[in-house]
């Protein structure tokens, strides 16, 4: 990479506004949309969760998306440095930078289990690639998946995978290695290039599978399941996970969009950009629901199956459906593609911190955080076999039954992300210099007013209430 006269790497940036939008959508759209959203929607009973989630996205998430991009664009450096820059400009304390550090830590932790789950996906890509290869050789390219296996055997594949530590480790290592490789190449030839190749591929696959599902699956029942609210199911716990999911899916609270926003060079107007990101991410989550539930419901499977939904239940469905072997392969490829464009954003946050604050080279920083996250991921995956009984936060009632991976997921998603969102809202809503905000975002006076109300009042209050009631349900 190019260096300046002090031997410090020059900061790269996006080549265009659309490059940033594509990369940001890539970061937002991921396992969160295709694995976590359907899982939570299914477990939480569908409609009420989904509608509350959509409300969270547009009333709380969208203003936060804009806030994070604003901080990054104004700061032009890593998350901690960018927050400090805005703070200095606004005569606020530099210690606000701490919430950027909290975000970078959350990103680092999320990456660890994210890579493990993406490793499962990678394995299933392999399973279905082999299956489709077999179908081709047999001269039956359009047959169902996993021909001749009974349900027990299909389910057993997941159990066997979980019991196979070397396999899990290999897949986790392969996915983390790929993430590392892209991040080590930098913003232009790494992140941007990956996004411009992978995102169009992703959308083509997604639309194709949704159309397929609409023809062969039970689309009407899926729509009813996803959009008919039963408000009695909206408990504080469900609200907390819906908020956590909205934040997770939009990549908020981990300083991801601060970091990506810091590579914006020009004078883009940020309002439409933030809107596009939020709408695209939410559409993909809903489309993923409309892709998965018709298939699940049409074969009478349980939508509340939990984290194993896409791994265990969907293969049953692919087995019974025309061209299921091919569709199964495309489906897991789709998830894998989405996961890569997100995991790189997770690694980029701490990596940018190392470059900006510790003055490390990109290579060194990406190696340290990639490896560190890989090691934590090993603990997560051992929670599926040798440490299956370990409950890291078992003393805390809401995590009493939670294994290692789900604990890292739950702790970051339910606690760290809402905290990050809360501090972002207070900082941008109350501390940041209003002239700087207006200039950097390019918002009209009307939208500045709307946004200020949401970010200064609604976001902090709603996030605080949901956080506290979710963590301590007994106070209600
Ligand atoms: N938004 C990503 C997803 O939905 C996950 C993510 C979270 C990525 C936080 C970056 C930062 O899969």
Residues 321-364 have pLDDT tens digits of 889 999 999 999 999 999 999 999 999 999 999 999 999 999 99
pLDDT above 70: residue 159: yes
The answer to whether 175 and 335 are in contact (CB under 8 A) is no
What is the model's pLDDT at position 304?
85
* pLDDT band of 5, cuts 50, 70, 90: low
- The residue whose CA has the least distance to atom 4 of ligand 1 is 32
321 or 422: which carries more pLDDT confidence?
422
DSSP for 280-348, please give it.
HHHHHHHHHHHHHHHHHHHTT--TT-GGGIIIIIHHHHHHHSTTHHHHHHHHHHHHHHHHHHHHHHHHH
User: How much distance in Å is there from the Cα of 26 to the middle of ligand 1?
Assistant: 9
pLDDT above 50: residue 188: yes
User: How much distance in Å is there from the Cα of 139 to the middle of ligand 1?
Assistant: 40
Residue 342 Cβ < 6 Å to ligand 1: yes
Substitution candidate for ligand 1 out of 113, 251, 408 with most atoms within 8 A of CB: 251
What is the model's pLDDT at position 211?
86
DSSP for 18-70, please give it.
HHHHHHHHHHHSSHIIIIIHHHHHHHTTSHHHHHHHHHIIIIIIHHHHHHHHH
What is the model's pLDDT at position 9?
57
Task: Give the percent of the chain with pLDDT over 70.
Answer: 98
Spell out the domains of the chain, with CATH numbers in brackets: 17-475 (1.20.1740)
Residue 27 Cβ < 6 Å to ligand 1: yes
What is the model's pLDDT at position 160?
95
Instruction: Name the burial class of residue 59, with classes exposed (0-12), middle (13-18) and buried (19+) by CB atoms within 10 angstroms of its CB.
Output: middle
Residues 213-236 have pLDDT tens digits of 888 878 888 899 899 998 998 988
What is the model's pLDDT at position 6?
54
What is the model's pLDDT at position 312?
79
The mean per-residue pLDDT over the stretch 278-283 comes to: 97
The mean per-residue pLDDT over the stretch 94-100 comes to: 96
What is the model's pLDDT at position 4?
54
User: How much distance in Å is there from the Cα of 429 to the middle of ligand 1?
Assistant: 24
Residue 110 Cβ < 6 Å to ligand 1: yes
The mean per-residue pLDDT over the stretch 244-257 comes to: 94
pLDDT above 80: residue 105: yes
Nearest ligand 1 atom to alpha carbon 342: 8
User: How much distance in Å is there from the Cα of 339 to the middle of ligand 1?
Assistant: 8
Nearest ligand 1 atom to alpha carbon 31: 12
Nearest ligand 1 atom to alpha carbon 252: 9
Residue 467 Cβ < 6 Å to ligand 1: no
What is the model's pLDDT at position 241?
82
The mean per-residue pLDDT over the stretch 440-457 comes to: 96
pLDDT above 50: residue 1: no
- The residue whose CA has the least distance to atom 6 of ligand 1 is 251
- The residue whose CA has the least distance to atom 10 of ligand 1 is 251
Residue 344 Cβ < 6 Å to ligand 1: no
* pLDDT band of 298, cuts 50, 70, 90: confident
Q: φ and ψ at 3, to 5 degrees?
A: -125, 155
Q: Tell me what ipTM this predicted complex has.
A: 0.97
- The residue whose CA has the least distance to atom 11 of ligand 1 is 251
Tokens of 420: 């990050």
* pLDDT band of 476, cuts 50, 70, 90: low
Mean pLDDT of the chain: 92
What is the model's pLDDT at position 50?
95
137 or 147: which carries more pLDDT confidence?
137
């Amino acid at each position: 990479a190019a260096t300046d006269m002090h031997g410090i790497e020059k900061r790269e940036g996006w080549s265009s506004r659309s490059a940033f939008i594509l990369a940001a959508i890539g970061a937002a759209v991921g396992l969160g949309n295709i694995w976590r959203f359907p899982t939570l929607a299914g477990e939480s009973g569908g409609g009420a969760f989904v509608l509350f989630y959509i409300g969270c996205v547009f009333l709380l998430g969208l203003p936060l998306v804009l806030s994070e991009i604003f901080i990054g664009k104004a700061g032009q450096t890593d998350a901690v440095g960018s927050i400090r820059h805005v703070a200095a400009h606004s005569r606020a304390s530099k210690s606000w930078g701490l919430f950027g550090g909290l975000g970078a830590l959350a990103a680092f932790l999320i990456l660890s289990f994210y890579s493990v789950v993406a490793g499962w996906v990678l394995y299933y890509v392999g399973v279905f690639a082999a299956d489709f290869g077999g179908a081709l050789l047999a001269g039956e390219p359009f047959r169902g998946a996993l021909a001749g296996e009974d349900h027990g055997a299909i389910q057993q594949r997941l159990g066997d995978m979980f019991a196979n530590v070397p396999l899990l480790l290999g897949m986790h290592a392969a996915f983390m290695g790929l993430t590392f490789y892209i991040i080590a190449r930098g913003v232009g030839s790494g992140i941007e290039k990956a996004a411009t190749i992978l995102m169009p591929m992703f959308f083509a696959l997604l639309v194709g599978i949704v159309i397929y599902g609409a023809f062969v699956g039970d689309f009407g029942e899926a729509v009813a399941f996803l959009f008919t609210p039963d408000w009695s199911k909206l408990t504080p716990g469900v609200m907390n996970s819906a908020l956590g999911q909205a934040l997770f899916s939009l990549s908020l609270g981990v300083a991801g969009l601060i970091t990506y926003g810091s590579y914006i060079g020009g004078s883009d107007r940020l309002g439409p950009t933030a809107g596009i990101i939020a709408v695209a991410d939410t559409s993909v989550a809903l489309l993923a629901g409309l892709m998965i539930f018709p298939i699940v419901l049409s074969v009478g499977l349980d939508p509340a199956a939990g984290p194993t939904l896409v791994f265990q239940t969907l293969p049953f469905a692919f087995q019974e459906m025309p061209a299921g072997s091919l569709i199964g392969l495309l489906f897991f490829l789709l998830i894998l593609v989405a996961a890569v464009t997100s995991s790189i954003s997770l690694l980029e946050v701490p990596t940018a911190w190392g470059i900006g604050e510790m003055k490390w080279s990109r290579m060194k920083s990406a190696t340290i955080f990639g490896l560190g996250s890989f090691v934590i991921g090993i603990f997560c995956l051992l929670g599926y076999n040798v440490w299956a009984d370990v409950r890291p936060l078992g003393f805390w009632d809401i995590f009493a039954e939670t294994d290692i991976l789900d604990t890292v997921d739950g702790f970051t998603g339910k606690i760290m992300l809402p905290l990050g969102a809360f501090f972002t809202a207070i900082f941008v809503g109350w501390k940041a210099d209003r002239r700087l905000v207006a200039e950097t975002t390019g918002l009209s006076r009307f939208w500045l007013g709307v946004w200020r109300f949401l970010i200064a009042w609604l976001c902090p209050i709603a996030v605080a209430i949901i956080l506290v009631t979710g963590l301590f349900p007994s106070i209600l």
